[in-house]
């Protein structure tokens, strides 16, 4: 009988497990790094134990520290969540050796499935279809394209797609280095790569009495950097392919039985458009996307993990799936800038219409699983996922519509996110038609999918609203006689003006307005009427042909950042100060750090001749390696960092003197990117 549960994890998954523990009467214990001391998972648990340090290697990956925390807090069970130590067989063994209950599968299952090479051999022997493993040294032109994978891990780390044989040696070296860094094991292998494959997985639950459930499939084909950002159940491909679900469930069940599996796990497959399936791997843990299955099955998978660990038996048959569920991962990242992760303060996260948190939806609506709150700091040491937003409905189209609307109307202030990309994907004709293979983003283009939700007119009106709201805020605190009516002047009114930069584009908007006895006149917006304006809410009557439409704009100010939310789409503006701080000026041609991180390699030196796109150095941040490349043909005039240096966002990394004699970063073409920011390429 469990009484106290420690979750060896952080953020959203720790809160998710705690929610079920509380519902089942089990007390909760959190562990936290120094950077997570004020995080929701640490402050909401019944008890919390500090893990000294900031990085994962110093804290959440330290087996001895986590076990000491369990003993100190009196926990009698450990749940690993996902990531970190969740698929570490040595940690699972140590938990059991310490006399604690391990909320997960047997150690042997973790060991066998932890090696992609060995697990594929076992699956082939069990009759599960697999893609043939290729010896990297024996790959030929006819085998291309191939994908290199790390044997000991997943999440896109150590994974490289190779399309040209002469690129294979360098990519193998890079993959091995990355695998060693991420998993402590440099072993890699190759297999055939399907450009337009489908990533489909089956949720399994198994008890120690021999019952194995296949609890529906999930399609996870929409990925960036080989990592999922949208998952759904049921799979559109499976729905329209005869007997595919039966074959998937049979293969997943055989895989679980072959290793004597217990608890919740996921068997992942690659499928082609004909419905042929090939085993990829088995995740011996709870998946990030498990809420999708919970919403279609009305099961609490964490509750079943706890029950199975205590010896409970599953009923003979799983519940039938109902309706359709779609989950998206809201990340602090900029898709338009090669998915560049973001860090800083999340001033606000408010998703409207949420009817459930960390539990199945029982009617059409929105579920939110998040590890952050208003004011949370998003650092560089952990994954930049802010939340998982899930919609369930009777049909897939309805679920997509509910989810897209909730995301579009969400208030997400302070960080660039992938929210607009997610909204655009959910409304895209190809997605609604179920054409969601792994090449979706390459096929339809990030320039289209990452475009702003708000139209150009909505951006202009949002800037007007921001100006009027700021003026109202100034009047609210101004020491003037309250009896004097707004707009009163003893001299002719002079237009007031404000200048904003649209975040993410660099475009400037100038707003000029004047107060008169008849109200507020907005220059350049004939027929636009200000109905009301407070520091938080501006209401405008907008002329449309021969009529007007009333629009509401909610305005929030966070220092120089102004966030305007309306049904027409969110707009983030940066208010331009009246005077520029000289300290903020940098030399032309300066390459600035796009995020806080650590310099892991340097490949250039002052005075060296470089060409456009040539790597100069590499930054590591948020579980990714970022290449800082030469923005032009020229000479490195300055190189201000070295390997091991920790840098803040905006730090000058290097200065490149172009061949024409000018130190510059890029051309004057409007690419939508910030001037003087480095060319970067992520490698996971």
Domain residue spans of the chain: 4-103, 133-192, 330-429, 456-575, 582-683
Residue 528 has pLDDT above 90, yes or no: yes
Token look-up 């909730």 returns: 406
User: Nearest Cα to 384, choosing from 597, 96, 609, 534?
Assistant: 597
Residue 417 has pLDDT above 80, yes or no: yes
State the pLDDT at residue 661: 60
State the pLDDT at residue 369: 98
State the pLDDT at residue 677: 41
Q: Taking the model in full, what pTM does it have?
A: 0.84
State the pLDDT at residue 555: 98
Residue 59 has pLDDT above 80, yes or no: yes
State the pLDDT at residue 100: 98
Token look-up 């636009």 returns: 528
Tokens of 638: 């300055």
- CATH code linked to domain 4-103: 3.40.50.20
- CATH code linked to domain 330-429: 3.30.470.20
Half-sphere exposure of 566 (CA within 13 A, CB side): 26
Tokens of 622: 């948020």
Residue 158 has pLDDT above 90, yes or no: no
User: Nearest Cα to 162, choosing from 176, 143, 180?
Assistant: 143
Binning pLDDT at 50, 70 and 90, where does residue 490 land?
low
State the pLDDT at residue 664: 44
CA distances from 456 to 347, 461, 568, 613 (A): 25, 9, 10, 33
User: Nearest Cα to 53, choosing from 41, 70, 65, 71?
Assistant: 65
Binning pLDDT at 50, 70 and 90, where does residue 577 land?
confident
Residue 26 has pLDDT above 70, yes or no: yes
Residue 162 has pLDDT above 90, yes or no: yes
Selected residue with higher pLDDT from 255 and 646: 255
- CATH code linked to domain 456-575: 3.30.700
**What span, in angstroms and rounded, lies between the C-alpha atoms of 367 and 360?**
8
The stretch 323-330 carries a mean pLDDT of 98
**What span, in angstroms and rounded, lies between the C-alpha atoms of 660 and 684?**
35
The stretch 545-570 carries a mean pLDDT of 96
Torsion-angle region of 344 (φ positive above 0: left; ψ -120 to 50: alpha; else: beta): left
Residue pair 217/200 in contact (Cβ under 8 Å)? The answer is yes
Binning pLDDT at 50, 70 and 90, where does residue 495 land?
confident
Preceding peptide of 365 cis, ω within 30°: no
Lowest mean pLDDT among 365-379, 495-509, 555-569: 495-509
3-state DSSP of 218-231: EEEEEEECCEEEEE
The stretch 487-516 carries a mean pLDDT of 82
Binning pLDDT at 50, 70 and 90, where does residue 674 land?
very low
The stretch 576-591 carries a mean pLDDT of 64
Tokens of 99: 């006399």
Residue pair 202/249 in contact (Cβ under 8 Å)? The answer is yes
Which architecture characterizes domain 582-683 according to CATH? Beta Barrel (2.40)
The stretch 631-639 carries a mean pLDDT of 89
Residue pair 449/366 in contact (Cβ under 8 Å)? The answer is no
State the pLDDT at residue 670: 35
The stretch 227-240 carries a mean pLDDT of 97
Selected residue with higher pLDDT from 40 and 681: 40
CA distances from 586 to 422, 478, 662, 676 (A): 35, 36, 14, 9
Lowest mean pLDDT among 85-94, 145-154, 453-462, 665-674: 665-674
Binning pLDDT at 50, 70 and 90, where does residue 426 land?
very high
State the pLDDT at residue 679: 44
Beta bridge pairs of residue 477: none
Name the E strands within 246-331: 263-271, 277-283, 324-331
**What span, in angstroms and rounded, lies between the C-alpha atoms of 135 and 148?**
10
Preceding peptide of 234 cis, ω within 30°: yes
Residue pair 189/136 in contact (Cβ under 8 Å)? The answer is yes
Token look-up 């973790």 returns: 110
Residue 472 has pLDDT above 70, yes or no: yes
- CATH code linked to domain 133-192: 3.30.1490.20
Share of the chain above pLDDT 70, in %: 92
Lowest mean pLDDT among 276-285, 327-336, 351-360, 478-487: 478-487
Binning pLDDT at 50, 70 and 90, where does residue 536 land?
very high
User: Nearest Cα to 553, choosing from 459, 473, 471?
Assistant: 459
Concatenated DSSP letters of 577-592: PSS--GGG---TTEEE
What's the mean pLDDT when you consider all of the chain? 90
Tokens of 11: 């953020």
Selected residue with higher pLDDT from 517 and 49: 49
State the pLDDT at residue 488: 55
Query: Which one-letter DSSP state was computed for residue 527?
Result: T
Classified as helix, coil or strand, 106 is coil
State the pLDDT at residue 666: 40
State the pLDDT at residue 675: 36
Query: Which one-letter DSSP state was computed for residue 176?
Result: H
Residue 205 has pLDDT above 90, yes or no: yes
| Buried/exposed 642-651: b ≥16 CB within 10 Å, e otherwise | eeebebeeeb
């Amino acid at each position: 009988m469990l009484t106290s549960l420690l979750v060896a994890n952080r953020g959203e998954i720790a809160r998710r497990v705690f929610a079920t523990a509380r519902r089942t009467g089990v007390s909760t214990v959190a562990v936290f790094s120094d950077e997570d001391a004020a995080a929701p998972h640490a402050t909401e648990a019944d008890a919390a134990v500090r893990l000294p340090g900031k990085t994962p290697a110093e804290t959440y990956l330290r087996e001895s520290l986590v076990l000491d925390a369990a003993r100190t807090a009196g926990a009698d069970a450990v749940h690993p969540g996902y990531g970190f130590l969740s698929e570490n067989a040595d940690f699972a063994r140590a938990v059991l050796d310490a006399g604690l209950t391990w909320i997960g599968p047997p150690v042997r299952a973790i060991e066998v499935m932890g090696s992609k090479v060995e697990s594929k051999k076992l699956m082939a022997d069990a009759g599960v279809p697999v893609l043939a493993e290729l010896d990297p040294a024996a790959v030929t032109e006819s085998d291309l394209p191939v994908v290199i994978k790390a044997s000991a891990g997943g999440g896109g780390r150590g994974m490289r797609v190779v399309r040209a044989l002469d690129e294979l040696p360098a990519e193998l070296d890079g993959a091995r280095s990355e695998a060693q860094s991420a998993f402590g094991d440099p072993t890699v292998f190759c297999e055939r790569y399907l450009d337009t494959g489908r990533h489909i997985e089956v949720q399994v639950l198994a008890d120690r009495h021999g019952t194995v459930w296949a609890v529906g499939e999930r399609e996870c084909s929409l990925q960036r950097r080989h990592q999922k950002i949208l998952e759904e159940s049921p799979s559109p491909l499976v729905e329209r392919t005869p007997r595919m679900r039966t074959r998937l469930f049979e293969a997943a069940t055989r895989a679980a039985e072959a290793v004597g599996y217990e608890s919740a796990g996921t068997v992942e497959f690659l499928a082609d458009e004909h419905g042929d399936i090939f085993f990829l791997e088995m995740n011996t843990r709870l998946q990030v996307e498990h809420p999708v299955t919970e919403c279609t099955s009305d099961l609490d998978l964490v509750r079943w993990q706890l029950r199975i660990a205590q010896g409970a038996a599953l009923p003979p048959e799983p519940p039938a799936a109902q309706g359709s569920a779609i989950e998206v991962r809201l990340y602090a990242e900029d898709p338009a800038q090669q998915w560049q992760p973001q860090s800083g303060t999340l001033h606000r996260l408010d998703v409207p219409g949420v009817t459930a948190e960390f539990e199945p939806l029982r009617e059409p609506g929105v579920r939110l699983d998040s590890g952050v709150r208003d004011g949370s700091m998003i650092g560089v040491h952990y994954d930049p996922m802010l939340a998982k937003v899930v919609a369930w409905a009777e049909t897939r189209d309805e679920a997509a519509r509910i989810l897209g609307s909730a995301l579009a109307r969400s208030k997400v202030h302070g960080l660039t996110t992938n929210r607009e990309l997610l909204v655009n994907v959910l409304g895209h004709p190809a997605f609604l038609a179920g054409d969601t293979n792994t090449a979706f983003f390459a096929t339809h283009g990030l320039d289209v999918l990452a475009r702003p939700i708000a139209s150009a007119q909505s951006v202009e009106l949002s800037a007007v609203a921001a100006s009027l709201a700021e003026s109202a805020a100034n009047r609210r605190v101004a020491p003037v006689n309250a009896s004097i009516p707004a707009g009163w002047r003893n001299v002719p009114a002079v237009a007031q003006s404000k200048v904003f930069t649209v975040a993410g584009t660099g475009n400037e908007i100038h707003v000029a307005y004047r107060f008169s006895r008849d109200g507020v006149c907005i220059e350049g917006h004939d027929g636009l009427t200000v109905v009301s304006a407070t520091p938080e809410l501006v209401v405008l009557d907008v002329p449309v042909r021969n009529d007007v439409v009333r629009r509401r704009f909610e305005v929030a100010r966070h220092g120089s950042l102004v966030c305007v939310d309306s049904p027409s789409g969110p707009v983030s503006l940066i208010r331009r100060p009246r005077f520029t701080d000289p300290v903020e000026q940098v030399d032309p041609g300066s390459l600035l750090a796009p995020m806080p991180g650590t310099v892991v390699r340097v490949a250039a030196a002052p005075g060296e001749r470089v060409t456009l796109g040539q790597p100069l150095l590499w930054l590591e941040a948020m579980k990714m390696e970022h290449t800082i490349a030469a923005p032009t043909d020229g000479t490195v005039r300055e190189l201000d960092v070295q390997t091991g240096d920790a840098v803040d966002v905006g730090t000058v990394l290097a200065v490149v003197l172009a061949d024409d004699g000018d130190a510059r970063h890029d051309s004057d073409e409007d690419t939508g990117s910030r001037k003087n920011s480095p060319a970067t390429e992520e490698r996971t």
